[in-house]
Amino acid sequence: MNRSRIDQDACETLAGCVTEIEKYTAAELVIVVRARSGHYAHADYLFGALLALLGLVFLLFSPVEFNQYWVLIDVVLLFVLGAYVSSKTEAIRRLLTTGKFRASVARTGAAAMFYEAGIANTSAEMGVLVYVSLFERRLELIADRGVLQAVPSQEWNECLFGLHQAGRDPELEGMLKALRLLGALLAAYLPASDDNPNELPDMPRFEL
Amino acid sequence: MIKAIKRLLTGQHPERVLVFCCVPLLLLILNADVFARVGGGQSYGGGGDGGSGDGAAGAILWLVFQLFRILLYLTIEYPLIGIPLDIIVVAGVFYFFFWRRQRIQTGIFSTATGTAPALENSDIPTGGFVREFDQLRKFDPNFSEIIFTDFCYALYGKAQEARGRGAEALDLYSPYLSDAARSSLVQRNQPGLKEVKGVIVGSMAVSSVRGLETPIVQIGVLFESNYTEVTPNGESSFYIRERWDLERKRDVLSPEPEQARALHCPRCGAPLQRGNAGACAFCNTRIDSGEFQWYVSAITLLDREDRGPLLTADVPEVGTEFPSVFQPGFENARVEFERNHPEFAWNDFYARANLIFSELQAAWSTLNWERARPHETDSIFQMHQYWIDAYRKQNLRNVLDRFAVTAMQPVKIKEDAFYNSITMRIGAQGYDYTVDASGRVVSGSKDRLRHWSEYWTFIRNREAKPVAARADLNCPNCGAPLKVNVSGICAFCNGKITSGEFDWVLSRIEQDESYSG
């Protein structure tokens, strides 16, 4: 499910999946898909600086003579060019950031979304956030206390593992499969009551 | 090295990156005259000296700049001298800014040499890690310090015994022990080692909790233990101090107590059994991280001696006069607990605590620790057994004569996913002295009355039948006279009475000066 494959159809398929899951469980599932969770300006600056450094070395050691004014101009131009190219190229940004950093920003983004989307405020603490961050290739699952206290640890951890695996290379089919497993677990331990209010929107939140 | 530089550059601080990148650029530009001389491109040579700025900061910058110039000059003009100097400077800077800082933060020592300087007690915060564990419980409501402790004790004992049977036997625990941890254990095997037996953990203390703001949480645990190694030359006992570094995905849920004994596959819960390529024989998963359960990433041997701890020091009592430390909102917790457990009566509980206290003191003074078995959880019983054995081996006996409980005060009530716990501050007095085999007093005094107080934590399983606490020496399950085996199982009803499944048992003792609530 990379960005090019995110479209209205995928969004509606996920919305249908959420509606189906919530029919059988008291849990409130929210899906959020974001292009990226953090700012990567530092990676852009770094790439710009490296390019500028290379240019400077070339100017200094090249047998061709340059006017000294070109040094400053070229260095600045190369820095700007490098930063711009990096900002448009995911591979460069990925190369210049650690997996740990990307995991951390995805997690921070998910935690912020948990509150911002009101998932933390469901009446019976039944909110579950499935947060997919495409650039970071991470899927974060955050569940409210009511859910964590109801599900058995082993099955929950297995479900978590499956979702994390699906998040490493997000594509629609894998996501749907992992979500259905999550839905089955929630339905088994948090079955829907007669009065099963839909407290949160089923339509996934796409920020691409 | 590359990873370390990457780490530096990939923080959330663009300004750091800019500084990192711009400083060399600036220096290169300022050093244009040097390059010009070297490369022969005189067209953009010139420029003045860097000059010294005003004040100390300016002077330091100037000095650094000049040093950099010299280094650059040497590197280009005399590379045989300059390049080694570059390497030394870069290594020095790296050591100062990264490795040293990391070492200070984590207290991790290299496992390469097998031993490392012993960590001082001061490395463990006085207040413990109550706040960190509470934070962890926000992600994992199942997390219980009681279960974590039991898990560590169980894994420690099993791992030590397994290494006595060879590397293959130890590999069975690969879902819990990393390759590095296992090889660290196997490395200490003596030639011809046949068996490791009598593993007793004397103390276990959490020394660090890190990563709560990241997807992986890490806990450092210090063990003090004693075991016997059997070789063709005979048996030798060792007193060990070591550090285990455990990690786990922060968001997973802790398993139920029966699954947290290092006997099961952390993923599928089946009994530990190795299949192909070290994977679980049942779920076919090879576990090499803390994806599902605590995973030991490193083991560092801190100290290994063949003599026991010093038992004749006369340590003065500290903190007896300190005010009691209550948990925040204790009164509310108490009211709620009483409301949730109508069968609970404080008088019954005090009587049981008193009984346990008296039984333990009597067992301690007579070195008959089996007497204490029905009243303590496995881990604390094992810990006390370590000290009893140490006294026995040195032909010493610590006597608490004419002791009496002088005060009991509940200070903390906690209910986690699996256990209820009550912490009491217990004040007592008695004559505390240590005698050798001939009965001669080697420390303490038979004539000086000693007053002390300690925080005792009692636990009871949340699933326990709601009945009042008992204060007699009968099995809390079947009512028969107390008779348990070494595992804490009643000889009559086969109920395990030391896990708090039937009545309150002692889980932890903390001193006044270290208790933080």
Alpha carbon distances (Å) from B269 to A153, B139, B259: 11, 21, 7
Same domain, B354 and B295: no
- Residue B388 and residue B375: Cα distance in Å, rounded? 16
Could you report the per-residue pLDDT of B44-98, keeping only the tens digit for each?
333 334 344 455 667 778 888 888 888 888 888 888 788 888 888 888 887 777 6
Q: Which of B254, B288, B305 is the last residue of a domain?
A: B305
Is B246 in the same domain as B341? Answer: no
Residue-level pLDDT at B108? 32
* Contact between residue A27 and residue A192 where contact means Cβ atoms under 8 Å apart: no
DSSP string, B410-443: EEEEEE-SSEEEEEEEEEEEEEEEEE-TT--EEE
Do B366 and B493 belong to one domain? yes
Would B178 be classed as within a structural domain?
yes
Cβ-contact B212, B246 below 8 angstroms: no
B206, B348: one domain:
no
Mean pLDDT throughout A162-173? 85
Q: What share of chain A is helix, strand, coil (3-state, %, to 5)?
A: 60, 10, 25
Under 8 Å CB pairs connecting chains A and B tally to: 117
Interface test with A, best of B22, B44, B212 (most A CBs within 10 A): B44
Residue A28: pLDDT band by 50, 70, 90 thresholds?
A: very high
**Same domain assignment for residues B63 and B205:** no
Would you say the C-alpha torsion B155, B156, B161, B167 has a positive or negative sign? Answer: positive
Does A67 sit within 8 Å of B43, measured CB to CB?
Answer: yes
* pLDDT above 70: percentage of residues in chain A: 97
Per-residue pLDDT, averaged over B185-189, amounts to 91
Q: Evaluate whether residue B151 is within a structural domain.
A: yes
- Please indicate, yes or no, whether residues B154 and B283 belong to a single structural domain of this protein: yes
Predicted TM-score (pTM) of the model is 0.72
Q: Is the pLDDT at B41 greater than 80, yes or no?
A: no
What the block records as the tokens of A29 is 């599932």
Q: What share of chain B is helix, strand, coil (3-state, %, to 5)?
A: 35, 25, 35
Q: Do residue B482 and residue B349 come from a single domain?
A: yes
Contact B12 A153 (CB under 8 A): no
First to last CA, chain A: 12
| Range scoring the smallest mean pLDDT among A37-51, B118-132, B345-359, B456-470 | B118-132
- Range of B66's domain? 2-106
CA–CA gap between residue B217 and residue B136 (Å, rounded): 9
B166 and B65 inside one domain: no
Strands of the sheet with B441-461, listed across from one edge:
B397-415, B419-435, B441-461, B505-511
On whether residue B290 sits in a domain, the answer given is: yes
Percent of chain A scored above 90 by pLDDT? Answer: 52
Which residue is listed with tokens 């009945």?
A: B467
Residues of B in contact with A97 (CB under 8 A): 6, 10
List the single residue in B17, B43, B253 with the smallest CB-CB distance to A157: B253
Count of the separate structural domains present in chain B = 3
pLDDT digits (tens, 9 = 90+) for B292-339: 999 999 999 998 888 767 777 777 777 888 899 898 889 999 999 999
Axis-axis angle for helices A41-61, B14-30 (nearest 10):
10
Residue A162 identity (one-letter amino acid): G
Where are chain A's structural domains? 3-38+98-207, 41-95
Question: Which residue, of B106, B122, B151, is where some domain finishes?
Answer: B106
CA of A24 vs chain B CAs: smallest distance (Å):
23
How high is the ipTM of this complex?
0.78
Interface with B, mutate which of A130, A148, A158 (most B CBs under 10 A): A148
Asked whether the predicted pLDDT for residue A48 surpasses 60, the reply is yes
pLDDT score at B5: 45
Q: Which of A84-88, A94-98, B109-113, B474-478 has the lowest mean pLDDT?
A: B109-113
Contacts with A, B 430-489, CB within 8 Å: none
Confidence band, pLDDT 50/70/90 cuts, at residue B155: very high
B357 domain-assigned: yes
Residue B127: band (very low, low, confident or very high) from pLDDT cuts 50, 70, 90 = low
Look at A157 and B18 and tell me if their CB atoms are within 8 Å: no
* Helix or strand run (H / E) with residue B208: strand B195-210
Name the amino acid, one letter, at B394. Answer: Q
Nearest partner of B199 among B137, B152, B234, B254, judged by Cα: B152
CATH code for position B397:
3.10.450.240
Q: What is the per-residue pLDDT for A128? A: 94
- Dist CA A42 CA B9 (whole Å): 8
Evaluate whether B295 touches B248 at the Cβ level (below 8 Å). yes
pLDDT of residue B104: 39
In the predicted structure, residue B102 carries a pLDDT above the cut 60? no
Q: By the 8 A CB rule, do B308 and B239 touch?
A: yes
Between helices B14-30 and A68-87, what is the axis angle to 10°? 160
Contact: B29, A75; criterion CB under 8 Å: yes
Task: Determine, for residues B10 and A42 on separate chains, whether the beta-carbon distance falls below 8 Å.
Answer: yes
Considering only A54-68, B7-21, B141-155, B450-464, which range has the smallest mean pLDDT? B7-21
Q: Å from B123 to nearest chain A CA?
A: 27
My answer on whether B154 and B293 are in the same domain is: yes
- Give me the pLDDT at residue B98, please: 65
Is B164 part of any domain? yes
Arch. (CATH architecture) of A3-38+98-207: Roll (3.10)
At a CB cut-off of 8 Å and minimum separation 6, what does A13 contact? A172, A176
B421 inside domain? yes
